[in-house]
Amino acid sequence: MTAAPPAGTITIAGKTVSRLGFGTMRLTGPGTWGDPDDRHTAISVLRQAVHTYGITHIDTADAYGPHTVEHLIREALYPYTEHVLIATKVGMLRPAPNVWVPHGHPAYLRACVEASLRRLGAERLELCYLHRIDPDVAPDDQIALMQALQDEGKIGHIGLSKVTPEDLRAVSGELPIAAVQNVLNMSDPFDPALELCRDLGIPYVPYRPFDAGALARSRGVSAPLQWLLGLGRHVAPIPSTSRPLHLEQIVAAAAGEA
């Protein structure tokens, strides 16, 4: 690293990482579909996040593209240094641009994990989220499969995305949850899981911190990001961008320099 971690550090999935993470959802084509318009810039942004700005929490999903961003991460950052946490998510079908369909059948989840391991070139997924709890599949079956993959050494730590407090209480009673990833921003500021995560000692990773860019346009970058960081030391936002200048602005805002 060539810079101190923006906004300090947090422990997620057993690693001390930068509290400001980098979300990779925007490193695709429109509709989170296909390749980015400028592959070279996408790879450059990933490298700048880690090597220039000291961001060591990189968040992705097999559904981004689908598969596009996991390939980009490997090209940009492999071999991964020990201090970098690559978090991915599984359990989502992508039949078309902007279409997201939860699919939690255990055989599908297993196939997703195996494929992510290959695309990322990893021996195990250090942090793997269940992208959604599929309402059409028994939750216990989905969680049991994730736990089985953890027991096999293919997943290091398990996270949950877009979960209710009821979901979190039920699952965390059965196995340790390394992180929770829900929508939270100044436009959508209420999530009861935020306080439950604090009580349970679980890092809370808010996605869409700029409300898909609407807050950045109306409020700037600093106010929405500082609002999130002020909600507690367990909060670790993952803003996403495909533009080097925007990344620089985000880092400055997190460090209180903007």
Provide the annotated active-site residues.
Answer: 64
156 contacts 150 by C-beta, under 8 angstroms: yes
The structure tokens listed for 221 are: 């970058």
Instruction: Give every CB contact of residue 153 below 8 A, 6+ residues apart in sequence.
Output: 124
Question: Which of 214, 165, 199, 161 is closest to 183 using CA atoms?
Answer: 161
How many residues comprise the chain?
Answer: 258
233-255 per-residue burial string, b: 16 or more CB within 10 A, e: under 16: ebbbbbbbbbeeebbebbbbbbb
Q: What is the spatial distance between Cα 128 and Cα 85, in angstroms, rounded to a whole number?
A: 11
Q: Is the peptide bond before 106 cis (omega within 30 degrees of 0)?
A: no
Q: What is the spatial distance between Cα 179 and Cα 177, in angstroms, rounded to a whole number?
A: 6
- Cα 196 to Cα 161, 174, 214, distances in angstroms: 14, 16, 28
Q: What is the largest CA-CA distance in the chain?
A: 47
Question: Per DSSP, what are the bridge partners of residue 205?
Answer: 181
